Amino acid sequence: MSENKSQGVVIVTGGGRGIGASTARLAAQRGYEVCINFHSNEARALRVVDEVRDAGGRAIAVRGDVSSEADVVRLFDETTRQFGAVTALVNNAAILERQARLDDMEAERFERVFATNITGSFLCAREAVRRMSTRHGGRGGAIVNVSSIASRLGSPDEYIDYAASKGAIDALTIGLAKEVAQEGIRVNAVRPGVIYTEIHAGGGEPARVDRVKSAVPMKRGGQPEEVARAILWLLSEEASYCTGSFIDVAGGR
């Protein structure tokens, strides 16, 4: 399955579905040993693991809530135990809730969305830096944060809380990239637009992509594989002089 010699060890959070699953499969094809993190749907994660192994790659699935510090530390420790030093992180795990205006949202909703989307990404990035940074005895590595075009558009009348959480990911990408630029770690992000994944069902409108695609200059929704290809490029040595950079995979929005 691998196109090249081993490219290292990558953790993909939320790797059991959508963009995460496509990224995990493509990473294995490119020669990475892959840890697929999942929160609750073990069957989905194990299906991706089986697909990778059936094609000759190496993958494991590790359950963990990224908003839990203990779970994140265990995720990295278990990956290191099975594969060796982690060299790449794809910060993909995220949630959104049902479409609503801000004046109809409750505080508990903010706590849930921000815990996964912001705290989870910060915790995973922290653990990656502690292991990859030359300051801590690591050999360097790469982090790709999965933001969203919503961070620029705001998602009015639908989920501005989700959009705000992705704005925080943009800030994390810029700040952390500068912080660890001399420690062997590159930090970049992709900002997907409307992509055909199951996350829209979580917002209460499974067919949302088809409804809004007319607003996209390319007049179509994107596929998870199209985002995965951008992620793998940013992880690769082809992007060796890119840090603090963003790739919008959004059809021109």
The catalytic residues are 162
At residue 215, the 3 state secondary structure works out as: helix
CB 180 within 8 A of CB 174: no
Distance CA 223, CA 91 (A): 18
* DSSP at 116: I
Q: Are 3 and 30 in contact (CB under 8 A)?
A: yes
Which residue in the block uniquely carries the two structure tokens 């060890």?
A: 9
Beta bridge partners of 248: 191
φ and ψ of 192, to 5 deg: -70, 150
